[in-house]
Amino acid sequence: MAEASSGSKYLSNDILLAMAKVLIVEDDTATSSEIAEVLTLDNHTIENTDNGTIALGLLEISRFDLIILDWSLHGQSGLEVLEQFRKAGGATPILMLTGRNQITDKEQGFDAGADDYLTKPFHIKELRARVKALLRRGRELTDDRIEFRHIVLDIPAQRVFIDEQEVQLMAREFALLALLLKNRERIFSLDALISSVWASDEDVTHDAVRQCVTRIRKKIDRQGEPSIITTLAGQGYKIEK
């Protein structure tokens, strides 16, 4: 891969949409680590594996915004993962990575359901551009700056302002609040929040999610007014428009 990642070198004005959950399925440890490092700098939550069978298991229990999928893997191949995921109804955007550069290979990947195709070796800036395009295609986006009532979220900088005063949210609190604000009127169950915000290998209880919501409310709600985050008994949480 061209150009190794190094610190904030890749943090440009063209910053990616923050807080996406990305699954990297790549058998080359160096390539996987480099991609993970760069996308983590862009504030994404990263999970990775080099095994196609394990990847399918992760896709059954967690929701991802993007899958970066190598063709050659331990266990099942990337093509097999792609085919099985699509047959099961999976709609997450998938970027295929492979050293195969024949047009017939690309056709096979696209026919199986790939959204984009990147041939190795590739430049890390091109990968970031493809990731950004697929994330924008894969879900409805708000601007990098979210304004709602007395709350302002600066997504790229991960800063929160309440009545024009900055408040400090932990990374997980910011991710949960951003998810709810981007999807106003959508009800998120406790399991859906865990799937969307926490990594699959984290041991997260429903009570931990409730505590996270409680902390957010203390930091963003105005005293004496109803909470921005609405609780629906037996269903979960939402933010109403």
Options 3.50.40.10, 3.40.50.150, 1.10.10.10, 2.40.50.140; CATH for 145-239 is 1.10.10.10
Convert the chain into a string of H (helix), E (strand) and C (coil).
CECCCCHHHHCCCCCCCCCCEEEEECCCHHHHHHHHHHHHHCCCEEEEECEHHHHHHHHHHCCCCEEEEECCCECCCHHHHHHHHHHCCCCCCEEEEECCCCHHHHHHHHHHCCCEEEECCCEHHHHHHHHHHHHHHHCCCCCCEEEECCEEEECCCCEEEECCEEECCCHHHHHHHHHHHHCCCCCECHHHHHHHHCCCCCCCCHHHHHHHHHHHHHHHCCCCCCCCEEEECCCEEEECC
Per-residue pLDDT of the chain (241 residues; tens, 9 = 90+): 443 333 333 333 333 345 688 999 999 999 999 999 999 888 788 999 999 999 999 998 888 889 999 988 988 999 999 999 988 888 889 999 987 766 777 788 888 888 898 888 889 999 998 998 888 775 544 456 788 889 998 877 788 999 989 999 988 899 899 889 888 888 899 988 988 888 776 788 999 999 999 999 999 999 889 999 999 998 999 998 7
Options 1.10.240.10, 3.30.465.10, 3.40.50.2300, 3.40.50.11740; CATH for 7-138 is 3.40.50.2300
> What pLDDT is stored for residue 228 in this prediction?
92
Q: Which residues pair with 229 in a beta bridge?
A: 239
Ranges of each domain in the chain: 7-138, 145-239
> What pLDDT is stored for residue 173 in this prediction?
92
Residues 48 and 26: their CA atoms lie apart, in Å, by 7
> What pLDDT is stored for residue 16 in this prediction?
37
> What pLDDT is stored for residue 11 in this prediction?
31
> What pLDDT is stored for residue 139 in this prediction?
53
> What pLDDT is stored for residue 127 in this prediction?
92
> What pLDDT is stored for residue 50 in this prediction?
93
pTM: 0.58
> What pLDDT is stored for residue 143 in this prediction?
54
> What pLDDT is stored for residue 211 in this prediction?
94
